[in-house]
Amino acid sequence: MKSLLVKNNKEEEEKSGIVLEKMYYMFIMLLTLTFGFDVYTQLGEYHVYSDKNKFDFCLKNCVLLMMIISSIVYSSLIRRIIITDKAKISNQECVNKTLMEVNEELKCFKHDFYNIIQAINGYLYLNDLIRIKKVL
């Protein structure tokens, strides 16, 4: 049952990762289309502008382009952080799984060791050295 739940959680994480990936690319496309549409609508009237308005046009588009580039860089950095965090979490899960297995082995060893000590104690109480030698 536990392995089934873990499998379902991993499938959900993979699906959410795919959805985030699609959203990221849609975000980049939307920003690019917005910039392109804005420049296209203003280029039709570019020849009508005076020199001051042409400078304002270029300045506005440069600022808009810088905003788009900074948004893309920022979202890429966030995405990179998320990917590295997922890798760290996956690595930590492997370490935890290994530690749990070692802990279970130690519990088994402790149980067996306790039983051997109890048997030796009983044989010592009975003063039966032959059986003590068989246990050891």
Rounded CA-CA distance 131/100 in Å is 36
pTM (whole model) above 0.95: no
Query: In a structure prediction context, what are the per-residue pLDDT tens digits for the chain, which is 136 residues long?
Result: 445 445 556 666 666 667 777 777 787 788 778 777 777 777 766 666 666 677 777 777 788 788 878 877 887 788 788 888 888 998 899 999 999 999 999 999 999 999 888 888 888 888 877 877 777 7
Cα 4 vs. chain centroid, distance in angstroms? 20
Rounded CA-CA distance 136/132 in Å is 6
The domains of the chain are located at: 2-101
Maximal C-alpha separation, the chain = 114
Task: Give start and end residues of each alpha helix (H) in the chain.
Answer: 2-43, 51-126, 129-135
